[in-house]
Amino acid sequence: MTPARRGPLALGAYRLLWVVARALTGAYWRLEVIGTERVPRTGAFVVAPVHRSNLDFLLAGLAMKRPVRYMAKSSIFLGGVIDRFLNTMGAFPVVRDTADFSAIRTCEELLAAGEPVVVFPEGRRKSGDEVLDLFDGPAFVAARQRVPIVPVGIGGSDKAMPIGKKWILPHKVVIVIGEPIYPDVPIEGRVPRSAVTKLTEQLRGEVQNVYDTARRLAG
């Protein structure tokens, strides 16, 4: 199964696992999602969550009522059953800290096909309350495909599963979804570099805002 194709069985499995995971996380973490009405009901968009825990991969998908795709670090793709499961969940690999043009191309193809894609703009897990430097990747693909970016703040996941820990604690988790950010670019033609830089900085501010709210509510 390629990342560009996900048949009825895979989508059915995704939706079933979504329902089960949402029920379990609701009970164990008292998961609360705020702002679901801001998620576009149709069409493609980039989901841009803050990243403070290994749990954020799961939580970003649970915040969306539509099936999403994930750009995930290549090191978790170990072949065989694991890769088939990750493909079913909508993940495709990216080599971090490099200009992975194959992953960027896959992301753009999925967006062009109308699918939402989760891309962590910080690139990897970070610590602390501040959202600092972001990669331009999410802004770049959103601008080129003329689709919005949805900022997502996840509060409490760093306490439910701190960096370096392998156990999961029953700490409250709150997800706050921000207003979609639409790229200010021409309808057609080349995307100016300045527009990508501006969009990235706008995204950084919005991710910080929703993260601050999510942290405060999660306690």
> How much is the pLDDT for 164?
81
**90 assigned to some structural domain:** yes
Region 67-83: mean pLDDT is 83
Q: What is the CATH number of the domain that holds 24?
A: 3.40.1130.10
Q: What is the DSSP string of 40-84?
A: -SSS--EEEE--SSTTHHHHHHHT-SS--EEEEEGGG--SHHHHH
Answer whether residue 143 is part of any domain.
yes
Summarize pLDDT for 138-165 with one digit per residue, the tens.
Answer: 999 999 999 999 999 999 999 999 888 8
Task: Tell me if 50 is assigned to some domain.
Answer: yes
pLDDT of residue 154: 98
Q: What is the enclosing helix (H) or strand (E) of 32? A: strand 32-34
Mean pLDDT of 155-183: 94
Share of the chain above pLDDT 90, in %: 69
Asked if residue 146 is part of any domain, the answer here is yes
Range of the domain at 97: 8-218
What pairs with residue 71 in β-bridges? 92
- For residue 114, is it within any domain? yes
pLDDT the model gives residue 1:
44
Q: Rounded to 10 degrees, what is the CA torsion of 188, 70, 22, 157?
A: -110
pLDDT in the model for residue 8: 85
C-alpha closest to that of 174 among 44, 25, 38, 41? 25
pLDDT in the model for residue 3: 55
Residue 135 lies in a domain: yes
Tally of structural domains, the chain: 1
Instruction: Flag whether pLDDT at 2 surpasses 50.
Output: no
Which tokens hold the place of 150?
A: 């949805």
Q: What is the pLDDT of residue 90?
A: 83
In the predicted model, what is the mean pLDDT of residues 98-119?
A: 91
What whole-number distance in Å separates Cα of residue 188 and Cα of residue 192?
A: 11
Report the run of H or E that residue 143 belongs to, with start and end.
helix 137-145
Q: Is residue 188 part of a domain?
A: yes
Residue 63 burial by Cβ neighbours in a 10 Å radius (0-12, 13-18, 19+): buried
Residue 3 located in a structural domain: no
pTM of the model: 0.90
Asked whether the predicted pLDDT for residue 195 surpasses 60, the reply is yes
pLDDT at 4 over 60: no
The predicted structure's pLDDT at residue 9: 84
Structure-token pair, residue 105: 């191309």
Tell me: the pLDDT tens digits for 27-63?
Answer: 999 999 999 999 999 999 999 999 999 899 999 999 9
Token digits of residue 208: 């910080």
Residue range 5-30: average pLDDT? Answer: 89
- pLDDT band at 89; cut points 50, 70, 90: confident
Going by C-alpha positions, the residue among 148, 185, 191 that lies closest to residue 47 is 148
Supply the Cα-derived Rg of the chain in whole angstroms: 16
